[in-house]
Amino acid sequence: MVYIVMEKNEIRKKVSSLVCAMDDSEKRLSSKKVCEKILSLGEYISADFVLSYMPMKNEIDVTAVSMSALSDGKKLFLPRTENSGNGMDFYFIDAGKSLDSQIKTGRWNIMEPESFCEKLDFEILYGKKIFMLVPGVAFSESGRRLGHGMGFYDIYVSRIKKIAARKKTSLFLVGAAFPCQIDRSVDQVSKDHDLSVDFLVC
């Protein structure tokens, strides 16, 4: 187990340095291309709910997808983490208000929904199609994901998968990554509890 943790940290360190070496124009262009690909996916087009995220500096910026979800009449939800521990939930973003008026700087300086935003109620998921965007530090070509090591997405996706199975809900997970974040070593260090995505866009 200690060996696996060390291996994961080495991959995080290597991939993070590659992303940091990208200039801002490269990141913007890659993010634009990734968003265009995401918006063309049939699973996005048919989705009722979109669970997106507000990017950290070295993550694909999917804000264009979030804004499109609002204009396309889909229900948009963004994540907010608890002030301590590894708890995370998703909160409703109202299309009738500006995005900026509904988010604030939160933990680790990541933008997150304001306290007045409503938490996603799993009871409304029955029969719905959910399209979820998943950030990560690194991914394998097979869709295995390596996060920052806190387990936020591993835990949340495990929860929502169980709910989706009970409520006949379709859940489609999409990883968003820069090309340099694809590393085959992720397959070798992944465990059963580690999150895998259904489709990877880079």
Q: What is the pLDDT of residues 32-78, one digit of tens each?
A: 999 999 999 999 999 999 999 999 989 999 999 999 999 999 999 99
- Pinpoint the alpha helices (H) of the chain: 2-20, 24-39, 42-45, 63-71, 152-166, 185-189
Mean pLDDT value of segment 135-161: 91
Instruction: State the Cα–Cα distance between residues 168 and 56, nearest whole angstrom.
Output: 33
pLDDT of 147: 86
Full-model pTM = 0.93
Q: Are the C-beta atoms of residues 145 and 186 closer than 8 Å to each other?
A: yes
- Using only the alpha carbons of the chain, give its radius of gyration: 16
pLDDT at 181 over 80: yes
Q: Which residues contact 76 (CB under 8 A, 6 or more apart)?
A: 49, 50, 52, 66, 69, 70, 92, 93, 95
Q: How many CB atoms lie within 10 A of CB 106?
A: 16
Confidence of residue 148 (pLDDT cuts 50, 70, 90): confident
pLDDT of 48: 97
How far from 9 is each of 5, 6, 15, 105, 196, CA to CA, in Å?
A: 6, 5, 10, 27, 18
pLDDT at 191 over 80: no
Mean pLDDT value of segment 2-30: 86
Cα-Cα-Cα-Cα dihedral sign, residues 117, 50, 202, 138: positive
Instruction: State the Cα–Cα distance between residues 4 and 1, nearest whole angstrom.
Output: 5
E-strand ranges in 71-139 read: 75-81, 88-93, 103-105, 111-113, 129-134, 138-139
Instruction: State the Cα–Cα distance between residues 22 and 83, nearest whole angstrom.
Output: 31
Report strand pairing: 111-113 vs 103-105: antiparallel
Which pLDDT tens digit goes with each residue over 91-124? Answer: 999 999 999 999 999 888 899 999 999 999 988 9
pLDDT of 8: 87
pLDDT of 2: 39
Q: How many CB atoms lie within 10 A of CB 195?
A: 24
pLDDT at 1 over 50: no
